[in-house]
Amino acid sequence: MPKAKFICSECGYESPKWLGKCPACGKWASFKEAAETQSKIRKKSKKASPIKLEEVSLSDLERLPFKSSQLNQFFGGGIAKGSVILFAGEPGIGKSTFLLQLKNMLKNEPRILYISGEETEYQVAERAKRLNARGILFCSSTSLEEIAETAAQGYDIVIVDSVQTVASENIDALSGSTTQVKAVAEKMVELSKTRNITTILVGHVTKEGAIAGPKILEHLVDVVIYLEGDRTSPLRFLKCFKNRFGPTGNVVVLEMTSSGLSEIENPSRFFIAEKREEMSGSALTTIVEGNRSFIIEIQALVSAALYSSAARRIASMYDVKRLNLILAIMEKRLSMNFSAMDVYVNVPGGIFVKDTATDLAVACSIYSSFTDTPIPSDTIIIGEVGLGSEVRAVRDIDIRIREAEATGFNKILIPERNRINIKNAKIEIIRVGDIRKALEVLFGF
């Protein structure tokens, strides 16, 4: 009779009894019961021969290059052969679409095996036909042993969709459990390293936005990639959080179309393409995703409320709590009165804004609509607003300035306290210490 044991789903810590809080990672209610299996005797590995690091030729690392320069840069020169990639995202966000397009994205037409534990060949073939994806070999299986045997038959890339549906026949636990997910990942890592096969493990994401399964899964793989976005918007963001063979923090912006995912070469121009010139209530600012900055438009509309006792505060793709905070600051510090006014804020383009560096732009767009005075269309506005109406320093200011300059803008308002390390900037940089100073520069307040 196998003994019962409990494993932390966050870090993999094992305990003979259930614990409310994991002593290793501190997570509450994270222990799951798993049947203890008989350990197998591993074969002895060959004796390691130490070498000098300076003698290692980095050019010997084989990569699968992309046709796109953006995706090549994202992966650090292409996908490293023999690497294991964890590709995560919410259901329906476009993970399978991206992977079915992978062969068309890569040069040299690599041999790809697509293994699905969730869909049949008919379901995947229908999607592949719509995407014009050809030459991909497919099989449906949830058995780890079957998958390992099939994957070892000489493929360049093996895609397992998803890691939570696969289970080993030698482990007495349900698929998706901590024990199974860990076993699947370990087996695929071993297969990739010994056969020089690139393996892509598709992972589901929980409601909290984390990858489902044990946290150790992220430590076992070489690369962790997320595909993010709002399903009501065509925009998708490919983000790299871990890469043992290249840089992290890279972001590629994609657009979901009827024929699949396509790259957006210049996201800033995409976000502001439909901006109307000299329209009151419109301000341009920047956000930072990973190591990239994008220029976006903030729209505000201030109008008399139908019933003054029920003035509305509505935000689309923006935090309404943040909007209420900015309005309270403007009322207190600038003696403005919005009590009988409806205030609407919108961020067009389909991207939800969390970056507090957009605060000043929101405040300026509200004032612009309130006074029906347009903001100069050649000006970018950046800054976080504090409760005293001060404009506080923001992160990555150099990246933001360079993006504004590269996109062709003439002026940029930045926080007075931000230090910049940019020489020979062609854009005019105006420093402001508070909202009042910013409004004075823009409107002669």
Out of 2-11, 111-120, 303-312, give the one with best mean pLDDT.
Answer: 111-120
pLDDT in tens, 220-244: 999 999 999 888 889 999 999 999 9
Rounded to whole angstroms, the Cα distance separating 232 from 294 reads 20
Among all chains, which residue has been given the structure tokens 């509309």? 301
Model confidence at 335, in pLDDT bands (50, 70, 90)? very high
- pLDDT, tens digit (0-9, with 9 covering 90-100), for 241-262: 999 999 898 899 999 998 999 9
**So what's the pLDDT on residue 3?**
64
Confidence at residue 271, expressed as pLDDT on a 0 to 100 scale: 93
Contacts of 274 (CB under 8 A, 6+ apart): 348
Q: What is the mean pLDDT of the chain?
A: 90
Q: Single out the residue of 130, 68, 85, 354 nearest to residue 230, CA to CA.
A: 354
pLDDT score for 59: 76
Residue range 287-313, pLDDT digits in tens: 998 889 999 999 999 999 987 778 999
Cβ distance 63 to 80 under 8 Å?
yes
pLDDT digits (tens, 9 = 90+) for 16-46: 888 998 888 788 887 877 654 434 434 444 5
Nearest to 295 by CA among 404, 368, 374, 383: 404
Over range 110-127, report the average pLDDT: 94
Helix (H) or strand (E) holding 220: helix 216-220
What confidence score (pLDDT) does residue 39 get?
A: 40
Q: Where are the domains of the chain?
A: 1-36, 61-265, 270-443
The CATH architecture annotation of domain 270-443 reads: 2-Layer Sandwich (3.30)
Distance CA 261, CA 254 (A): 6
Query: CA angle at residue 349 from 359 to 91, to 5 degrees?
Result: 105
pLDDT at 381: 98
Q: Predicted confidence band at 193 (pLDDT cuts at 50, 70, 90)?
A: very high
Distance, in Å, from the CA atom of 390 to the CA atom of 393, rounded to the nearest integer, reads: 10
* Percent share of the chain, pLDDT over 90: 69
Tell me: the pLDDT tens digits for 143-177? 999 999 999 998 999 999 989 999 999 888 788 88
**Which is more confident, 96 or 46?**
96
156 DSSP 8-state letter: S
- Report residue 150: phi and psi, to 5°: -70, -40
Query: Which residues, in sequence order, are CB contacts of 326 under 8 Å at separation 6+?
Result: 359, 362, 363, 366, 385
Closest CA relative to residue 243, chosen from 4, 50, 439, 73: 73
Tens-place pLDDT, residues 365-424: 999 999 999 999 999 999 999 999 999 999 999 999 999 999 999 999 999 999 999 888
Three-state SS at 392? strand
Residue 36 has a pLDDT of 46
What percentage of the chain's residues is helix, strand, coil (to nearest 5)? 30, 30, 45
Q: Going by C-beta distance under 8 Å and a sequence separation of 6 or more, which residues neighbour residue 32?
A: 6, 7, 9, 177, 178
Model pLDDT, residue 306: 85
> Comparing C-alpha atoms, which of 226, 253, 241, 161 is closest to residue 200?
161
Determine the pLDDT at residue 214.
61
How many angstroms separate the CA atoms of 254 and 327, rounded?
A: 34
Do the strands 428-432 and 411-415 form a parallel or antiparallel pair, or are they unpaired?
parallel
Q: What is the CA radius of gyration of the chain?
A: 26
Which segment of 59-63, 75-79, 102-106, 371-375 scores lowest on mean pLDDT?
59-63
**Cβ burial 51-77 (10 Å sphere, 16+ → b, else e):** eeeeeeeeeeeebbebeeebbbebbbb
Reply yes or no on whether the pLDDT at 124 is more than 70.
yes
Query: Do residues 173 and 36 touch, judged by C-beta distance below 8 A?
Result: no
Tokens encoding 213: 């399964």
CB-based contacts of 129: which residues, under 8 Å, 6+ apart?
none
Looking at residue 291, its pLDDT comes to 85
Q: Looking at the domain 61-265, which fold is it?
A: Rossmann fold (3.40.50)
Is residue 218 within 8 Å of 185, Cβ to Cβ? Answer: no
